[in-house]
Amino acid sequence: MSTQLIESSRPLSLGYATGVRSIFGLEMKQRLRGRAWYIMMAVWFLVIGLVFLLATLTTSATGGAGPFLFDLVVGFVLFFGLLVAPGLSANAINGDRAGGTLAILQITLLTPGQILWGKWLASWVASLGFLALSSPFIFWALALGGVNPLEAVVSLVVLALELGLVCALGVGISALATRPLFSIVTTYMMVALLGLGTLIAFGLSMTLVMEEDVPVVQSYYNYPPEVQLSQEIPSEEDLVCVTDEITTTVWHTERTAWLLAANPFVIVADAVPYDRAADDLPVGSFNETYRAPGVMESISDQVRLAQAGPDYNVTCAEAQFFGPRSRDIESEPFPIWPLGLALQGGLAAVVLWAGRRKLVTPARRLSQGTRIA
């Protein structure tokens, strides 16, 4: 009899996964019942569809439309995803606190971690709905040719990860902030810090890595003096390679390129395995299948060049095609996107950890004006 009383007096336990699933199901039901989510998705689909249609009409008369449209859609989806994800997650906790429903969840068997994980998964799945609406345009660009199918798969995976990390920041900040408006603004500021702040920091750091009076070799093709003074019309066979050594100012960007690692656009652009068959050709060769890189591919190129550091030496073959080669496959630096994901993941983990501490009950101290129930 005493054993039964002891067992009956023990607190009930709730499996961790069960608690997370309960919060996730409750959040998704609330989102599916409202009309705002559907309206946002409809506007999202119409805007991306309109941009894709206009871009298709613009590039219909030119070759290589597939890679251009692919880069355009990926960059556009990432840009708008960074705008939508904070709105779907930054009021997940303090919105319930303002409505008086958070206290009801806190007095149940649910733990603060279960509440946070459930709300984060719900906001992430809601944002993935927008990504799912964008995937037809990505695969449409894939069907036009010129794009490796692996590029589309990797793009969707990295875009999903970026949306998940932004949603994690939003949920964590919503647990820390008292008012929903403040948490939404703060999340947008964090996104701006990752997107624009990294570029500003990299630009301001250029003066710190500047080196003056560095000798470099500049070569170019020119006609010798006797040919220039003659009255005969010169031919290409008369060109000779002229080499000059000059001093110039260089910027050692390889020392500060890591500042760009946490940028969402850099992460997505650098993670995609672009097909660079045309770049493997020797300098001076011509390939009819060559295509100019798109927006996201250009971002990846510029970041890799920044990682490689300055290379101001120009050979005659390179000068014939307007300067040094944009890429050296053999000496290509290590991809920077793993570092970027690690930095963003670490930031999201710290914010979620701080938000979890804010949800622990009983609370020792509450902000003024905080609603309990």
- Write the CB contacts of 110 (distance below 8 Å, at least 6 apart in sequence): 14, 19, 22, 23
Gyration radius of the chain's alpha carbons = 28
Please tell me the number of Cα atoms within 13 Å of 48 on its side-chain side.
Answer: 29
In a domain, 329, yes or no: no
> What confidence tens digit (pLDDT) does each residue in 290-313 have?
456 678 888 888 898 888 877 777
Please tell me the number of Cα atoms within 13 Å of 54 on its side-chain side.
Answer: 6
> Does residue 309 share a domain with residue 176?
no
Q: For residue 243, give the H/E element and its range.
A: strand 240-251
**Tokens matching residue 211:** 């080196």
- Residue of 308, 314, 313 lying closest to 328 (CA atoms): 308
Give the pLDDT score at 10.
Answer: 42
3-state secondary structure of 216: strand
Looking up tokens 């810090």, which residue turns up?
A: 193
> Does residue 199 share a domain with residue 217?
no
> Does residue 137 share a domain with residue 242?
no
pTM: 0.80
> Does residue 343 share a domain with residue 256?
no
Give the pLDDT score at 128.
Answer: 92
3-state secondary structure of 61: coil
Backbone angles phi, psi at 155, to 5 degrees: -60, -45
In a domain, 366, yes or no: no
- Write the CB contacts of 291 (distance below 8 Å, at least 6 apart in sequence): 63, 64, 67, 146, 278
> What confidence tens digit (pLDDT) does each residue in 226-275 have?
565 565 666 666 676 777 777 777 788 888 899 999 999 999 999 988 86
> Does residue 213 share a domain with residue 189?
no
> Does residue 230 share a domain with residue 107?
no
> Does residue 343 share a domain with residue 251?
no
In a domain, 264, yes or no: yes
Strands (E), 178-225: 210-222
> Does residue 355 share a domain with residue 315?
no
> Does residue 231 share a domain with residue 189?
no
Give the pLDDT score at 235.
Answer: 60
Burial of 149 (0-12, 13-18, 19+ CB in 10 A): exposed
In a domain, 36, yes or no: yes
In a domain, 348, yes or no: yes
What single string gives the DSSP state of each residue in 166-229? HHHHHHHHHHH-SSHHHHHHHHHHHHHIIIIIHHHHHHHGGGGGEEEEEEEEEEEEE--HHHHH
**Tokens matching residue 321:** 């095609």
CA 325 from chain center: how many Å? 26
The structural domain count of the chain equals: 2
The span from the CA of 175 to the CA of 359, in Å, is 7
In a domain, 369, yes or no: no
> Does residue 192 share a domain with residue 217?
no
> Does residue 27 share a domain with residue 129?
yes
Any bridge partners for residue 231, and if so which? none
In a domain, 3, yes or no: no
Counted residue by residue, the chain has a size of 373
In a domain, 43, yes or no: yes
The span from the CA of 134 to the CA of 229, in Å, is 63
Mind listing the pLDDT tens digit of every residue in the chain (373 residues)?
444 433 444 445 568 888 888 889 888 888 888 788 888 888 888 988 888 888 888 776 666 677 888 888 898 899 999 999 998 888 888 887 877 777 788 788 888 888 899 999 999 999 998 999 888 888 888 887 777 888 888 999 999 999 999 999 999 999 888 888 889 999 999 999 999 999 999 999 988 888 777 777 777 666 666 565 565 666 666 676 777 777 777 788 888 899 999 999 999 999 988 864 444 333 444 444 445 667 888 888 889 888 887 777 776 666 665 444 444 444 567 889 999 999 999 999 999 999 888 887 655 665 655 555 4
- Write the CB contacts of 274 (distance below 8 Å, at least 6 apart in sequence): 148, 151, 293, 297, 300
The span from the CA of 227 to the CA of 236, in Å, is 11
- Domain carrying residue 244: 208-277+293-320
> Does residue 258 share a domain with residue 186?
no
> What confidence tens digit (pLDDT) does each residue in 10-31 have?
445 568 888 888 889 888 888 8
- Write the CB contacts of 155 (distance below 8 Å, at least 6 apart in sequence): 70, 74, 138, 268, 272
What number of other Cβ atoms are within 10 A of residue 309's Cβ? 15
What number of other Cβ atoms are within 10 A of residue 10's Cβ? 7
